Structure formats: structure tokens, C-alpha cells
Amino acid sequence: MQTYETVRCDREDHVVVVTINRPEKLNALNEQLVRELTAAIDELDNDPSVYAVVLTGAGDKAFVAGADIEAMSDMTPAQGKAFADKGHALMNRIEQAHFPVIGALNGFALGGGCELALACDFVYASDKAKLGLPEVSLGIMPGFGGTQRLGRRIGPGQARELCFTGDMIDAEQALRVGLVNAVVAHAELLNKVKEVAKKIASRGPVAIAQAKRVMVRGADVPLPVALELEGQAFGQLFGTEDQREGMKAFISKPKRSPAFVGK
Ligand code: COA
């Protein structure tokens, strides 16, 4: 893999931990970070042997404390639009990757950090995490997908309250509204999320890639179209080595664990 200044990738078998690495600025998203994180996800997506990715932040305080306010402070409307376009491209890249991306929210996940969490397939939070969309306190609004993805994840009423008040919520409140899947003791967060990623990586990788694709794509189209997508993907899996192996392992006597090859 390429080396990046603001992103670190550490691989353990089929799982890659991607760490956003700008801790002195609480991992705030500037143009370089958005560019490098997009490139890193792109590189990983071109590697079919990556089965799951964990996304976390460097340091002990923040996942990502938002888009970089200093960098945004003198943007023109055209520059603001271009920055939003780059943010959208990053979030779309994460959603369209063939592997699940699981967020490990190790502290503040604000603004662009909360939007990054929403682009992940699901997230676990440290008991010290704080989440929110504080953009309106700065006279702007969420621009990396938050106005659209938050409501889709937690419902429109909860999403509007968070967006319009700009309030931060703690991990337990985030759990209650369905913004995070679990709250984990701070020191155990990364190991816990890696464990979940390893479990995912032990299942049929082609099946997971197809399920992710259909779940992401299906959320934005009418139900009959989404069900057609599901049916086609389901059918295609019967042409894979993994389907034959998975079912053969189940029906063999004694039953054994499948050895998936990702084909
Ligand atoms: N953009 C740019 N820099 C940021 C940042 C952001 N979104 N969030 C934090 N930083 C920087 C701070 O300016 C500071 O830099 P400095 O040491 O050079 O002064 C450093 O990160 C540490 O942050 P600090 O504010 O001192 O930490 P704190 O523990 O007192 O407060 C927060 C933490 C998250 C409450 C606070 O940093 C904050 O409110 N950040 C902005 C959150 C936000 O509005 N995000 C949405 C942006 S659209």
C-alpha cells in the first residue's frame, strides 16, 4: 500500500484497521485527509483479499472532531461546494466498498466525524464518545451527507433535533437513538471492534459483499426494485465456490467449518 501522512493502515490477515491520523487537531478533516482517506479506501477496495475494515481515530480523545474549521473559515461558496463534493465522494466510496466498514468511535465524532460514522456500515462507541452535528453553531450546516444519512439511520425527528440544536450527545444517548450499535469501555473498544470484524471476515466474503451492495443500493430505490436486486444477487451466489463450500461443510458428517476462498 501507499503510505499516507494523515491515514494509517494496519493489516491483520483479512482485516485492515484504518486510523485517521491527525491527533493534534483531533483528526479534523482537511482537504489532504479527505483526499488520503478516499485514496486509501479506494486502494483497499481494489484488493479482494480485504474482507472487513475498522475505521478509527488516532489518539485518545477523538474519532474525528469535524471538518477543519480553520481551513473552512475563508472558503468562498464555490470552494464550500467543492469541499462538500469531496466529502460526499469519500462517504460514497466507503458505502460502495466491497467490505463492511465498522467505525470504532474512540472519542468525539462531531460534524464530519458523525457523517463519517453514518457512512460506516455500523459503529461501536467508546463510553467516552460524544456525537453530534454542531455545524449550525458555526453558521453552516452538515455538508458531508449528514442531512440525508442521519434521518435514514435514526429517523427524521431525532435527526432534525440533533441537526437544529447542534447538541452533543453521549454514547449512551447515541445507543438509545440507534446511532451506535454498542457502547464499549474505552480501553476495550478497538479490540472489541476488531473481534467483530474478524467474525465478519470468517464468513463468506462474496456473500457479504453482495449483501452490503444490495442493502446500500436497495435503501434508495422502491421496494420492488430493491427486491429484484436482492433476488439477482442471491442467485449469483449459487455460482460461487463459497456457496458450494459453505453448504458442503454444513451437510458433511461430522459437520465442519467452511474454508471460504472469496470466489
Ligand atoms: N477543526 C479544526 N481544528 C480543530 C477542530 C476542527 N473541527 N476540532 C478541534 N480542533 C483543534 C483545536 O483548534 C485545537 O488546536 P490547537 O491546539 O492548535 O489550538 C486542537 O484541535 C485541540 O482541540 P481543543 O478545542 O483544544 O480540545 P478540547 O478538548 O478543549 O475541545 C472539542 C474538544 C471537540 C469540544 C472542540 O475542539 C470543538 O468544539 N471542536 C469543533 C467541533 C465542531 O464544531 N465540529 C464541526 C465542524 S463543521
Rounded distance from Cα 25 to ligand 1 centre (Å): 6
Do residues 57 and 64 touch, judged by C-beta distance below 8 A? yes
How far, in Å, is the centroid of ligand 1 from the Cα of 142? 17
Q: Please identify, in words, the CATH class of the domain defined by 7-201.
A: alpha beta
Dihedral sign computed on CA atoms, order 18, 108, 217, 194: positive
Where in the chain are the domains?
7-201, 205-251
Query: Pocket around ligand 1: residues whose beta carbon is below 6 Å from it?
Result: 25-26, 28, 65-70, 108, 110-111, 134-135, 138
Tens-of-pLDDT digits for all 263 residues of the chain?
899 999 999 999 999 999 999 999 999 999 999 999 999 999 999 999 999 999 999 999 999 999 999 999 999 999 999 999 999 999 999 999 999 999 999 999 999 999 999 999 999 999 999 999 999 999 999 999 999 999 999 999 999 999 999 999 999 999 999 999 999 999 999 999 999 999 999 999 999 999 999 999 999 999 999 999 999 999 999 999 999 999 999 999 999 999 999 99
Q: Ligand 1: which residue has its CA nearest to atom 14?
A: 25
Q: Does the annotation mark 31 as catalytic? A: no
CATH 3.40.50.2300 fits 205-251, yes or no: no
Residue of 36, 135, 161, 172 marked catalytic: 135
